[in-house]
Structure 1
Amino acid sequence: MKRVAAILVACGLVLGAYSGAHAADIKAKGVWAIDFSWLDSGDYTSMADDGKSDDDFSASQRLRTQIDIIASDSLRGVVFFEIGNTVWGRGANDHGGALGADEANIEVRRSYIDWIVPNTDLKVRMGIQGLVMPGAVAGTSPVFQDDVAALTLSQRITDMYSVTAFWARPADVSNGSEKGNAFDEIDVFGLVVPVTLDGFKISPYGMYSSLGKDANFVGSTNGGAPLLAGMRSMSEVANGSAAKPFDGRSNTYDAWWAGTSFEMNYLAPFSLKLDAVYGSKTADDADSAERAGWFVAALAEYKLDMVTPGVLAWYGSGEDNDLGNGSERMPSLSPTAWGVTSFGFPGSVYRQDLYFGRNGAGSWALGLQLDDITYMEKLSHVARVVYMKGTSDGDVIKNNADVRSAFEPGRGEVFLTEEDSAIEVNFDTTYKIYDNLSVVLETGWIKLNMDKDVWADKDYSDAKKFVFNFVYDF
């Protein structure tokens, strides 16, 4: 805590000096989250078979704070800190939860300035920022949503039309060093043109990325997952490319996406949300490294006084049985928060999710949900049942031992073939203790049905969770 106190004091002195010299307004907001979690068979395996006992319970906390330094309506700076995730009782690798708690555990997630070009309506954001492509079904993007160094330009054309363009740099291996080379960066360029009409909103977008041949874009990590892991083909994963640079690459890769999100509430209380996107990663020097596919998702809801019933569905193209022609699942940059469920996908208010992946690529699903169930003041519930099945040919796993070893459950995100299926059940409850303090109880169950011919006659256990989250918004 001594380091934390010293850093906060230094920040206070800097901000105090700045505010005295320029009379800027300082505003802070953020979220404290503390959870008490019981998780069983999170990797779908049981330790009982090895004569061991499960360690199911853990407690953790996280603080996220955004500080706005506001000079005027046309200029402000933003810094976004995170402390945690801190698992109680664990040491440095879990951000100082062990006895003494004196670890360097402050992260700067975002640091940028917002300003408006004088005498125009052109808004500029430059720095490390949260960048989000359009997404309607989950309110987040199935392609790209993450913190990244970027330059963003936004211009409102009329009340109905606006344009946003950006350049982002997710990786630069040499960081501008003279000892680097011209092919060790990843650059992303994007254009979004949202259109808002009476009862409708449509947001078409396009995105292009240049992936330098020496950028080693799966060697770094982001949130515990390989950086840009959604770009890799199955053959790249199987041959060990997840852990080393692409030594055999002679060319820079190109990738692009074209898609749209759509929202309709013109027929309220009925509403419809839709996401559709196609993406492609080329690899001229190795067909097996190519990846291209499409993805579509929809959510239809009907709002009633005490509940909002809805139907959720998605479909993503899957792999064929030939590793040599690349992958047929849609590539993605970093969709960190496509939270269509609160267990198998990143929809938990804090943690204990991400078991099927960061989007639904390579699978199809049909689900029923009852959202915003309210029959008592300050109390609400969400109930959800989703059936999922893979869209990839089972032979790509069955006939390739290296691929099976890399993708089998327990190794990371669950990969479903056409022979496999899963059922997920969520029941989540939120109670507002105060206006700014809520307790969220998340319960989840996932049943895997993995074909034994495909997965070498292995058995998998049901995953279960029971989590109390205390969330303080300020």
Structure 2
Amino acid sequence: MRGKRFLAALLFLAAFATEAAAATEVRMAGDARVYGVFFANRNFTGWDETGTQTEDRMTIWQRLRLRSDFVANENLKFRLGLRIDDEAWGHGYLTAANPQVAIEPYLAYLQFKWPGTDIEVTAGYQPLSVPHTEVFYDSIVLAADDGDQSSAALHLNIPVGENLSVQAAYARLLSANRTFQQTTTQVGDAFDTYQLALPVTLDGFAATPWGLLGVYGKGSDPENLFAAGLRSAASYLSESGYPYKDNQNAMWWAGLALTVEAADPVKFYFDGIYGDAAPADRERNRRRGWFFDAGVTYSGFDWMLPGVFGWVASGEDSSLGNGSERLPIITPKWGPGTSFLFDCDQEFANNSIGVDPTGTWGLAASLRDVSFIEALKSRLTVAVIAGTNSVAGLRKAVVATGGVGEYVTMGRNLAEGEWLIGVNFDNSYAITEQLSLTMQTGFASPQGLKTSIWGHRFTQQAENAFMGSLGFLYTF
């Protein structure tokens, strides 16, 4: 049934394209992925984050993306993106009876230039992220993940001369009740953000200072979708369940993304960010911190792109009473050199450790686009990451939030003295120009895990993690 609905949707698009062809050019593109993942000790145990479920090590996944651009002219277009999201064979819409809805929109936005100007307006469900240097894939605060994490937003790009532009955006990330609320007492039920960026581009140099302001309503996130990234551990002690005393709370971030290419083929990258969530609320509910990363790549080889990366972030102190000292984050997608320790720009999903970069420091080295054989490209990345969080602070966070995995997770949130080493070796063979066979492998080893934080049950179970993925990627 769901397959028939997807076919009907494609036929509708084709029919619409035929009717509109006289006035509108229709362009379609997308990708399909079918792959298997073997993952042993994803959380460095045989369990889930909370230690209440046992992992299934072998899973086969597939997904589909279809993007259609309806182009009236170079100044006016609309993009519609439909997806059948990553799902495991035998589950959800991929069962024999196919009982669940499979198709969902993930892009739907209008883009045009205001007549007589170069001002570009983008309105609708669109990729929206705060600036971050491309070598780390996307933002650690608010990322679009190549459109997979879209936001309902209005974005303006206003050129000011040849080297400067002003970018402003408003987005409504959450709205729990839509038009009417559940009671006659007004409650803030939306999470809105306001963004400003000033990209400056000169010969061999690009810098983007930016700022992000959020207004978080009391009833905006009943499912706690953003709780782990925005809240402090002490806020979980609230008797009402709502983490703040105020009906609405402000949150703000400021940052700089810097790229230097003047010494090409050597390129330098730097990001600096500071954020403060709920600064006017009770001190224990506040979360504020900073994050810096830097990288250098060398593009002088035609058969390899080497790079070295480093980062450091503020971590929790030993007290819950003064809130959290980690950078507040909304929807992160950040990672150096496609390290499988982080959920970033891997070709396949569900095959990374998913370490939280806040409260850590680390180093990574990668050899990307290694090609000695025609049609075969390889990537090797080694990363070492250690914690900057207080041992006492994480121990108290586990107690305050109800146990391991509820707010912080062993191996993903690291204390001082805890560290991980991760190695991944990935290969992609081009069967044809559009079809590739991709294999990804990864190894991660935890060291120094603290029994005083996670307890004997978790630390005694801890083992190295192993990952292997193999599948097909078709782009069209």
Give TM-score, length-normalised by structure 1.
0.89
Deviation at 1:455, TM superposition (A): 2.4
For residue 376 of structure 1, give the secondary structure of its aligned residue in structure 2: coil
Higher mean alpha-carbon deviation, 38-47 vs 128-137, is at 38-47
For 1:223, the equivalent position in structure 2 comes to: none
CA distance in 1, matches of 2:412, 2:290: 19
2:386/2:416 contact within 8 Å kept: yes
Gaps of 5+ in 1: 221-225
Q: What is the alpha-carbon distance in structure 2 between the residues aligned to residue 311 and residue 342 of structure 1?
A: 12
Deviation of the 1:419 alpha carbon: 2.2
1:58 to 2:59 alignment: yes
The aligned amino acid for 2:246 is S
How far apart in 1 are the matches of 2:34 and 2:128? 26
CA distance in 2: counterparts of 1:197 and 1:208, whole angstroms = 28
Pair 1:204-2:203 in alignment: no
Q: How many residues are matched? A: 455
Please point out which of 261, 265, 268 is paired with 2:261.
265
Q: Give how far 1:160 is off.
A: 1.3
1:39 maps to amino acid? F
- The verdict on how the C-alpha distance between 1:353 and 1:330 changes in structure 2, with shifts beyond 3 A counting, is farther
**Aligned 8 A contact 1:171 1:186 in 2:** yes
Cα drift, residue 121 of structure 1: 0.8
Letter in 2 for 1:442: Q
Matches of 1:399 and 1:119, distance apart in 2 = 59
CA distance in 2, matches of 1:46, 1:214: 36
- Unpaired runs of 5+ residues, structure 2, are 145-149
Match of 2:156 in 1: 153
- 2:219 corresponds to: 214
- In 1, are the aligned partners of 2:411 and 2:446 still within 8 Å (CA)? no
Alpha-carbon contact 1:338-1:346 (below 8 Å) kept: yes
Q: Measure how far apart 1:119 and its partner are.
A: 0.7
Residue 42 of structure 2 corresponds to residue 37 of structure 1: no
After superposition, the Cα gap between the structure-2 partners of 1:214 and 1:412, relative to the gap in structure 1 and judged at 3 Å, is: farther
Pairing 1:46–2:23 present: no
TM superposition score normalised by structure 2: 0.89
- Residue 317 and residue 282 in structure 1: after superposition, are their counterparts in 2 closer, same or farther (change >3 A)? same
CA contact (8 A) 1:409 1:415 kept: no
Equivalent residue for 1:83? Answer: 84
The range that moved more, 96-105 or 157-166, is 96-105
5 Å-filtered alignment, 1:258-407, equals 258-305=254-301, 306-336=303-333, 338=335, 340-347=337-344, 348-357=346-355, 360-399=357-396, 401-403=399-401, 405-407=403-405
Conservation of the 8 A alpha-carbon contact between 1:140 and 1:339: no
**In 1: Cα distance, 2:289 partner to 2:322 partner:** 13
Q: How far apart in 2 are the matches of 1:191 and 1:431?
A: 41
Instruction: Check the 8 A contact 1:191/1:206 in 2, yes or no.
Output: yes
Deviations 1:168-195 (A, max 9, x none): 0001122122656362111100111111
The alpha-carbon distance between structure 1 residues 126 and 63, as it changes in their structure 2 partners (threshold 3 A), is same
Q: Distance in 2 between matches of 1:205 and 1:258?
A: 6
User: Any residues of structure 2 matched to 1:16-35 within 5 Å, and which?
Assistant: 16-17=18-19, 19=20, 23-35=23-35
Which string of whole-angstrom CA distances, capped at 9 and with x for unpartnered residues, describes residues 377-397 of structure 1? 221211111111110100113
Tell me by how many angstroms 1:207 deviates.
0.8
Q: Hey, what's the Cα distance between the residues in 1 that align with 2:143 and 2:293?
A: 17
Q: Which residue is equivalent to 1:444?
A: 442
Other structure's SS at 2:372 match: strand
CA 1:413–1:5: 2 relative to 1, 3 Å: farther
Structure 1 position 307, deviation (Å) = 2.4
Q: Could you say what secondary structure the match of 1:115 adopts?
A: strand
What fraction of aligned residue pairs are identical, expressed as a percent?
27
Distance 1:14 1:446 in 2: 49
Pick closer, same or farther for the CA change 1:210–1:25 going to 2, 3 Å.
Answer: same
Q: Does the alignment pair 1:246 with 2:250?
A: no
